[in-house]
Structure 1
Amino acid sequence: MTIQWNEEAQRLSDLCIDLRRQLHRHPELSSHEEQTVALIDQFLQAQGIRTQIVEHGGVLGWIEGGKPGRTVMLRADIDALPIQEEKTNGGGLQKACVSEIPGVQHACGHDGHTAMLLTAAKLLQTHREALEGTVLLCFERGEEATMNIYHIMKTLDKAGIKPDSVFGLHVSPHTPAGTLQIQAGPLMAGMFSFHVRLQGRGGHGSRPDLCVNPIDCYAAIGQALNALRMRTVSPFEPLTISTGLVQSGTKSNILPDTCVFKGTVRFYNREAGLAFQAKLRHVVEHIAEAYDCTASFDKLNAPGFPLNNDADYAKTAAEVCGEMLGKEAVIQAEPWMGTDSFPLYLQRMPGVYAFLGMRNEEKGIIADVHTSRHDLDESVLWKGAAAHAACAEAFLKQARPQTWKPNPLDLDTLFEQAGYLFPEGRD
C-alpha cells in the first residue's frame, strides 16, 4: 500500500457523515431513487469523475488511473425500505438524524454504503495518477426489492466491460463498530421463497366431517417441513426454513375454503437448496392430497446464489485493511443468513464482500437491519471509505486466480435459472 488511505479518509470523516445524513433524511424506495441518483451523479461530476446514469439501474463512474492496467469495480446499493422510522435507536437513545419521508427509512445501511463509496471516490480521484488501471464505481438501484442489478450488468455486457474483480461493503449490527469482517468462502446465503395456496371446502364448525379444512392440512404440512430439514440435509450444511405468513378463516365457527402460507429457505450450498426445494414441493403436494386439499404454488422461485468470497482476494483485502487499520480491526465471524444481489456480480468476476461493524452498545446502536430502530455509528464510516480505496489499489495489482472460472450462462439465462424476477424496463 503506497498511499495512506486511512489518514486521508479520516480527514474526510465529516464529509462522509454529511453525505450519509443527506441520504438518510431523504430515502427513496427501490426503483424510485431519482433524487439519490441525482445527488450521486452531481457529487461524482464535481470531483471530475466521468459518469453514466444507467436507466433503471443506477450510476456508473470511471476513475482512470495514471497507468494502464486492470479494472476493479466498487459497488454500493442505494435504495431504502418501506418502514416508518423511530426517532430513537435500539438502546433508546436519540438518533443523529431521522428520515423526513413518512413510511420510508434507510433501515439497511444503504445510506452509509453510498456515503462511504462517494468518499472513497473522492480519495481515489485525488490519487488517480498513482493507480494502475481503472476503478469502476457502481451505485446500484433496487437491491432491496426490484433487482435493478440486471440493468447494471446488461449495460456492462453491451459495452464489453469485464471488470477483473469487485469489492463491496455492508454495515453489520452484529460485529463491533469499526471492525471489518473479511473472510473467504460463504458470507451471505442463497434463498428461495414459497407461497402456497391450499384449497379445501368450507362449512360450519359444527360439522367438520362435511368439510375439508385447509387449516388442518397446513398444520400437518408445517410440522412436516420443520422435520424435513433434519431428514434431508446434512447437519454440516447450514439451511434454514421459516414460515412468516399464514392466512385463513374469518370466524371461529366457520371453516374456510382456503389457507395461504408463505416462507423462505436459506442456504450456503445451492445444490442443497435445489434438493431441498424438490423435497418441499413433494411434501406439500402429497400431504395436501392426503387431506383432500389441492395445493398450488403461487410462488416457488429457483434458488438464488449464495455469496462466496474468493479466497485469494479475501486474503489480499484482509492484509491491506489489517496493515491500514491494525490487525485487530480485521475479524472473522459467523456468516449472515441474509441475502444480497452481490453474488450475481461474483458469477462474472471474483471478489470480496465485507462487513463494517456498527454495533456500539454505549451509543445504543444494537438494533438489527430492516427495523425501525436501526442506526449507524457514523464515527467509523471513514474506515469503510478507506477500505474501498485500499482494496481498489490492491486489487488493481492482483491478477485473477487461475482456478477461478466465470459462470458461462448469458445474463438472461443466469437470472432465470437463479429464480430472479426481471425488473421494470427489461429489454
Structure 2
Amino acid sequence: MKTFLEMAQEMQNELVSIRRDFHQHPELSWKEYETTKKIKEYLTSWGIEVIPWGGDTGVIGLLKGAEDGPVVALRGDIDALPVTEETGESFASVNEGCMHACGHDIHITTILGAAALLAKKKDEIKGSVKFIFQPAEEAINGADTMVKHGVLENPQVDAVFGVHNNPELRAGQIGLKPGPLMAATDGVYLTVKGRGGHGGIPNLCVDPVVAAAAIITNMQSIIARRISPLDSAVISWGSIHAGEANHVIPDSVTMSGTVRSYRKEVQAKLKEEMERVIHNTAASYGCTADFEYRYGLPVVDNDKVLAEWLKSPLGKVFGDGVIEPIPNTGAEDFAFYMEKVPGVFLWLGVGNPEQGICQPWHSPKFRMDESALALGAAGFAQLAFDYVNEFKK
C-alpha cells in the first residue's frame, strides 16, 4: 500500500493547480462565496459529506470511516486580505485590492489535499474526520462564530489540528511546539482629558498631550518592572490622535493599541497595572482618563500530550524536518477551538531563501515554495489517520 506521502507526491501538480486557482481569486472575510462553492465541489467529488453549519461562507466536511471511533478535526482558514498583490506571478490575484497575502490559499489546499488522501483510505479509518474551512480569520471572529454554531459537535470532536504556513521555516519543515505558540491579543482604548487653550499660554491649560506622552513612556515600566522576566508581554500603542492645529493645545487625546501575552495570569496583571499607571499618571498632570481594556483572542496554547504524540505521525512525512519553532506574538483565532477541545496548531514551512521566497505574512510580495503543498497534505492526512486509529487518551 502506498503511503500518504507517496500519494500526495502523485497529487503535486493537482495541488499546485488548486492552490493557484484560489490564490488568483481571493475573497475578503465573510465574502468568500466562490471559495466556499469550490471547496464544496471538491469535497463532494471525493465522496465527503458537506454539513451546513449556519453561515453563508465556510464549509464543514465530514468523512465517516469504516468503524465508529474518535473524531478528529482539521482546520484551514479561507479568507484573504485587502492588499494589492506585487508578486508578479502569472497566477496573481485578479481581484483588485485583494490578495492571499497571509497564505490562506495554502491552508485551503493543504486541508483539501488531506481530505482527498483520507477519502482514498476511508475503509481503513476507525473513526471520523471533520474538515473545517473557516471564514473570517482576518476579521478575528470566524472561529468564535463557528464554535458558537456547534461545529465541534454532532459528532463531538475529540481533537483539533490547525495549519498555518510560515515563510521563516523552509519548505520540508513543520513547526511543532508544545505549549504557547502565538499570543493572546487584547485591545486597549484610552482618552486622556485635559483643558485646551492657546499653545503659547500653556500655564492656563491642562495639557493632555504631555500627560499622554508620559502614559506611553510609563507603560513600558510595566513590562520591565511589573511582569516577571520569565514571562513575555508587549504593549503597543498604534493610534494616537490629538488636536487639529499646531498652535492649539487640545482638550483631549485619544489612543488605541494592543496588549499581547502568553498566560491568563499575565493578561490579568497587565490590565490591572495599566489601569493603575494610566489613572495615576493622568492625575499627576491634572488630567483624567477613560480607559477600556477589551479581551480579544486567547493564546494559542498547544496541548502538550498531543504535541508530543504528533512527533510520530509527522515524522513519517517530514522526517527530521519536524522542528520546534520560536513562538511569536502574532495572534490566531484557532485558539477558540482549543478552548473547547485539545488541539495543536502547526506551522508548515513554505520558505526558500535561495529562491528569494522569504517575504513575511501580509506582504504584497508574499510567495511560497509550492513543494510544501504535498508535504502539508500528507502530513495532515497522516496525523488524522493515526489519531483516529492509534491515539490513546
Q: Does the pair score TM above 0.5?
A: yes
Deviation at residue 148 of structure 1 after TM alignment = 2.2
Aligned to 2:14: 15
Q: Distance in 1 between matches of 2:210 and 2:86?
A: 39
Q: Distance in 1 between matches of 2:76 and 2:113?
A: 12
Which residues in structure 2 correspond to 1:166-315 (within 5 Å)? Answer: 166-297=160-291, 299-302=292-295, 304-315=297-308
TM-score (norm 2): 0.95
Are 2:334 and 1:350 equivalent residues in the alignment? Answer: no
Q: Distance in 1 between matches of 2:380 and 2:152?
A: 26
Aligned to 2:27: 28
The answer on whether the counterparts of 1:316 and 1:394 sit within 8 Å (CA) in structure 2 is no
Please point out which of 281, 295, 320 is paired with 2:313.
320
Structure 2 residue identity aligned to 1:258: S
Aligned to 1:410: none
Deviation at residue 95 of structure 1 after TM alignment = 3.4
Deviation at residue 400 of structure 1 after TM alignment = 6.1
Q: Distance in 1 between matches of 2:254 and 2:145?
A: 33
| Worse-matched range after superposition: 194-203 or 349-358 | 194-203
Structure 1 residue identity aligned to 2:378: A
Aligned to 1:140: 134
Q: Distance in 2 between matches of 1:43 and 1:269?
A: 39
Aligned to 1:124: 118
Change (3 A) 1:376 1:53: farther
Please point out which of 335, 357, 370 is paired with 1:378.
370
The answer on whether the counterparts of 2:360 and 2:366 sit within 8 Å (CA) in structure 1 is yes
Are 2:99 and 1:62 equivalent residues in the alignment? Answer: no
The answer on whether the counterparts of 2:172 and 2:318 sit within 8 Å (CA) in structure 1 is no
Q: Distance in 2 between matches of 1:372 and 1:217?
A: 38
The answer on whether the counterparts of 2:297 and 2:333 sit within 8 Å (CA) in structure 1 is no
Deviation at residue 168 of structure 1 after TM alignment = 1.2
Deviation at residue 156 of structure 1 after TM alignment = 2.5
In the alignment, structure 2 segments of 5+ residues that lack a partner are none
> Residue deviations 1:155-191, cap 9 Å, x none?
3279543211111111012222220011211111111
| Worse-matched range after superposition: 122-131 or 148-157 | 148-157
Q: Distance in 2 between matches of 1:186 and 1:162?
A: 25
TM-score (norm 1): 0.87
Deviation at residue 347 of structure 1 after TM alignment = 1.5
| Paired residue secondary structure (2:69) | strand
Please point out which of 352, 355, 372 is paired with 1:360.
352
Please point out which of 155, 162, 187 is paired with 1:161.
155
| Paired residue secondary structure (1:171) | strand
| Paired residue secondary structure (2:70) | strand
Deviation at residue 3 of structure 1 after TM alignment = 5.5
Q: Distance in 2 between matches of 1:191 and 1:301?
A: 9
Determine what percentage of the aligned residue pairs are the same residue: 34
Are 2:380 and 1:388 equivalent residues in the alignment? Answer: yes
The answer on whether the counterparts of 1:199 and 1:294 sit within 8 Å (CA) in structure 2 is yes
RMSD in angstroms over aligned alpha carbons?
1.8
Aligned to 1:424: none
Structure 2 residue identity aligned to 1:311: K
Structure 1 residue identity aligned to 2:58: G
The answer on whether the counterparts of 1:27 and 1:104 sit within 8 Å (CA) in structure 2 is yes
The answer on whether the counterparts of 2:77 and 2:108 sit within 8 Å (CA) in structure 1 is yes
Structure 2 residue identity aligned to 1:55: G
The answer on whether the counterparts of 2:26 and 2:98 sit within 8 Å (CA) in structure 1 is yes
Q: Distance in 2 between matches of 1:303 and 1:26?
A: 30
| Paired residue secondary structure (1:187) | strand
**How many residues get paired?**
392
In the alignment, structure 1 segments of 5+ residues that lack a partner are 88-93, 402-427
Q: Distance in 2 between matches of 1:115 and 1:217?
A: 51
> Residue deviations 1:248-306, cap 9 Å, x none?
23232222222122211111111111111111122112212222223223x52126421
